[in-house]
Amino acid sequence: MKNIAVLVSGNGTNLQTLIDAAKYDLLGGGELCLVISSEKEAYALKRAAENQIPTAIVEWDKYKPYREAFSAEILRHLTENSIDLVVFAGFRVILDHSVCKTYSDAMINIHPSLVPSFCGEGFYGLKVHEAALEKGVKITGATIHLVNEHCDQGPIILQKSVEVREDDTPEVLQQRVLEEAEHTILPEAVKLFCERRIKVIGNKVFIRHELAD
Binding stretches for ligand GRF (CB under 6 A)? 10-14, 89-90, 110-112, 178, 182
Nearer to ligand GRF, 19 or 33 (CB): 19
Nearer to ligand GRF, 56 or 89 (CB): 89
87: nearest Cα among 205, 189, 7 = 7
CA torsion sign for 11, 83, 98, 147 is negative
Q: How far is the CB of 141 from ligand GRF (least distance, A)?
A: 11
Instruction: Spot the catalytic one: 97, 111, 129, 209.
Output: 111
111 is catalytic: yes
By Cβ distance, which residue is nearest to ligand GRF?
Answer: 90
Contacts of 27 (CB under 8 A, 6+ apart): 4, 18, 21, 187, 190, 191, 194
Beta-strand runs (E) in 60-209: 85-88, 107-111, 139-146, 156-163, 198-201, 204-207
Q: How far is the CB of 9 from ligand GRF (least distance, A)?
A: 7
Nearer to ligand GRF, 49 or 69 (CB): 49
Q: How far is the CB of 51 from ligand GRF (least distance, A)?
A: 15
Active-site residues, by number, are 111
